Every structure is written in C-alpha cells, then in structure tokens.
Amino acid sequence: MTFPEDFAWGAATSAYQIEGAVDAEGRGPSVWDVFCRRPGAVWGGHAGDTACDHYRRYAADVALMRQIGLRAYRLSIAWPRVLPNGVGEVNLRGLDFYDRLIDALLDAGIVPYVTLFHWDLPQALEERGGWLDRASADWFAEYTTVVARRLADRVTHWFTINEPQVFLSHGYQTGVHAPGKKLPRKHVLQMGHHVLLAHGKSVQALRAASEGPCEIGFAPVGTVFVPATNGPADVQAARQMMFSVHDDSLFNNTWWMDPPLLGRYPIDGIRRFGADSPDVQPGDLETIHQPLDFFGHNTYSAQVVRMGAQGPECVPSLPGGAMSTFRWTLVPEALYWGPRLFYERYGLPIHVAENGMSNTDWVALDGKVHDPQRIDYMARYLRKLGEALRDGVDVRGYFYWSILDNFEWAEGYRERFGLVHVDFATQTRTLKDSAFWYRHVIAGGGDALFDPRPAPAALAV
C-alpha cells in the first residue's frame, strides 16, 4: 500500500466561493462584495452573492462529501461573518453556522481542516488601511481567538492564511482581484510582512485557545519547478529555481516560506527588492517563526527547468500540450517534485492543500457529467504523489480543489473545478464521473491509482 491508512483524502473550498448568503444573519461586507459591484471587475458581472448557497445547503453538501467518501474537508471561515466590522462585536449567528457545519462533518466521519483567511477581508478593515496597517496582525489574532474559542474543542487542523502571493499580487499590485488596488511594490511588500506577522500571531492564538494538541500550517502557492530529467544537474536547477527570488514578481516560494519556517527573509530577495523591502521591527521574525506541524502547498501546474551553461533554463511547454480551460498546463510531476523539494528544505509533513483543474463540464443528455480529463488529471497527479511517498516524502493529505463548482474570483462562474457539478440557476448538484472515480480511489486507499488499466473508462462508474 502506497498511501498510509490515515491519509487525509480530501477536497477543499473557501467561504466566499461557495457560501452565498452575503447579507444573512449579521454578516458584514467583505472586500469581495464591494469589488464584485465594480463594473467590469468580474467576468459576466458575476458575484458571490448566492454562489452555491452552501450557507443554507451545507447539510446536503456534507451528505455529498460522505457519499464520495471524503476523509477530510478543507473549508474557510468568512471573517466578516464572525466579526462584521473585522474586530469588536462578535456575530454569534455567524459562529453558529460554522458550529453546525463542523458538527455535521464530524457526524459524517469527515475531519475538518479550517482555513482562517481565504481572501475575504472585512471591508471595514480595508477602509481602516487593511494589511498596510501593522495593526492588521493584531486584528487577525483577535479574529483567530474568537474562532478558536468556539471551534477548537472540535477542530484540530488549521491553516492560517491561503496563498499570500495571490491575494497580495492580484489584489494590490495588478488590481484584478479585490480590492482592486494598484499600489507601489514597497507598500505591497510591507503588507506582505504584516500578513506574515498575522500568521505568526494567529498560530500563537490557536495554540493558546486549544486545550489539546492541534496541527497548524499555512497554504502558500509559489511556483513549483520540475527538472527536465532526473539527472543531478537538472534536479539542482529545479532546486535553485524553487528556492530563489529570481524575478520581480511576488510568486516565488522563499520570500513567503522562509520567514515562517526558517525565521529569516531570503537574502537574495532582500537584495532584489532593495529599498522596497519591508520595515521589520525587532522581534517580528521571532513572532513569524512559530513552530508549525505541517507544510501546506497549493499545487496546480509547474515550470520545467534544466541546467544550461549559464545556469537554470526554463523549458517552454510544447505547442498543443495538455491544459485546463484556465490554460494551466498539465504537469503531474509537480506533485512529485513539489512535495519532495519542500520536504527536503523545510522538513515538515506535507499536505497538498489544493490541486485540481477547471473544465467545461455540463450535464449530458444521459443526466450525468462526464469529465474524463479531470479523472486523468487526478490519476496522473496522484500517481506522482504516490511516488513521492514511496521515495520517503512524508505526505499526509491531498485536498482536491474543489468539491463543488464555485465562484472562481475574477472569472466568475465560468471555470468549473468541482467534483460536483452545480447548476447555478437551480442549485441542483450532480456528481461528476470524477467524484465516483475519486470515491473508488479513496475506498481502496489509493491502490486503484496504480491499476495498470487506464483510469477513466475503467473506474468512472
């Protein structure tokens, strides 16, 4: 058996992308509620107002998860549902919702993995300066404490923050995500520092509020580099690219991972960003560098790289290569080399906190949703993850993104990532072939992945 008995076979979502009910029971507005109202901001003028109506349909959705056989489910809490103004007054009805959801998951035998921040910053805090204000780290710690006091008796697995690279770059540099700002890099890097500080304070708050042991990690998303061959020079090229700040974008790994995991900003990053580097106060790095229990990574695609005469060279993907409707290239080796190299550098157990593909799925005339590409994608990626396990990488879980088709940020509802098809007009759910296939894989503890027969036709029943 390649995958351990207690492997967390999971799927993931985030609050704004599925909950809807944005005005229900005392929830305050988030930056995404405001951004979606801006003409042209989101494809088709879509918004998360209703999304999958999960707030009202959570019990039926948990039943679907149970039907698929999920062992774990990664959800996020909407900060403005718990603290409508971001700090201060607590909205008990918002907390009650998560209470019910957690209980339903536990009753179904599904372990909840809770993410505290998946981009829906309370608008009230954005208006007070948002992440640019150093106090944001304390706001986040306050929110963490409120959530943990209510849920930590049952929730033992936490992610603090999801993909700082994405919400900071897209939200505050290019402006294509909420709140749609275009700020100088100096400001964005300062915000990034406050986000890391918030992570550290949140870990402290979680440990303080948890009576028993709990497992805490976070979920960054920087680029995975895959060596063109298994030769040592190419592997070294991949390692070098994975763990360096080699361009001006914020999509590198080490800037975001070294401070929490190694207690320092990478020196090449400080050199590259120069005067734009953040102001770091004494003690900040100690606060950021809290002991963590696992390393989460959201892995979708990868860049192939080889060692050239002048150093690492990116290998362009072949014309016509496999890709999702989002135009993300299929590189299954990402789930071998990503976990392997992250484990080598940071030494923590790994969770694949997100992995998945978008597709143009629809309900066919036979009433089913046939998504052979997704089955093939998952089979290829999971086989590679299995190889990483066999080679000694301590991988603890895999969370398919996503259990439901949902609101894909600036793309609205046009990118479907789900194992379950959602008809957004009627809220009808239909399990896709991939959901049945995943059920089969989970039921057999992953063994079906290594069945020599081709995955799609054999298993999509």
Smallest distance from ligand IFM to CB 345, Å: 22
Q: CA torsion, points 341, 346, 349, 352, in degrees to nearest 10?
A: -50
The one among 120, 126, 234, 408 contacting ligand IFM by CB under 6 A: 408
Catalytic residue among 19, 126, 333, 354: 354
**Tokens describing residue 183:** 């700020």
In the shown chain, the binding pattern of residues 347 to 366 toward ligand IFM, with x for contact by CB under 6 A and - for none, equals: -------x------------
End-to-end CA distance of the chain: 23
Q: Which residues pair with 428 in a beta bridge?
A: 423
Q: By CB under 6 A, is residue 14 in contact with ligand IFM?
A: yes
Residue 406, class by beta-carbon neighbours within 10 Å (0-12 exposed, 13-18 middle, 19+ buried)? buried
Cβ of 446: how many Cβ atoms within 10 Å? 21
Residue 207, class by beta-carbon neighbours within 10 Å (0-12 exposed, 13-18 middle, 19+ buried)? middle
CA 230 to chain centre: 28
Smallest distance from ligand IFM to CB 218, Å: 13
163 given a catalytic annotation: yes
Smallest distance from ligand IFM to CB 170, Å: 11
Q: Which is nearer to ligand IFM, 14 or 156 (CB)?
A: 14
Half-sphere exposure of 295 (CA within 13 A, CB side): 26
Q: Which is nearer to ligand IFM, 14 or 210 (CB)?
A: 14
89 given a catalytic annotation: no
Catalytic residue among 163, 387, 408, 415: 163
Q: By CB under 6 A, is residue 123 in contact with ligand IFM?
A: no
The one among 19, 126, 163, 433 contacting ligand IFM by CB under 6 A: 163
| DSSP letter string, 8-60 | EEEEE--HHHH---TTGGGPPPBHHHHHHTSTTSSGGG--TTTTT-HHHHHHH
Q: By CB under 6 A, is residue 254 in contact with ligand IFM?
A: no
The one among 3, 58, 337, 401 contacting ligand IFM by CB under 6 A: 401
The one among 298, 301, 303, 430 contacting ligand IFM by CB under 6 A: 298
Residue numbers annotated as active site: 163, 354
Binding site residues, ligand IFM, CB under 6 A: 14, 17, 163, 298, 354, 401, 408
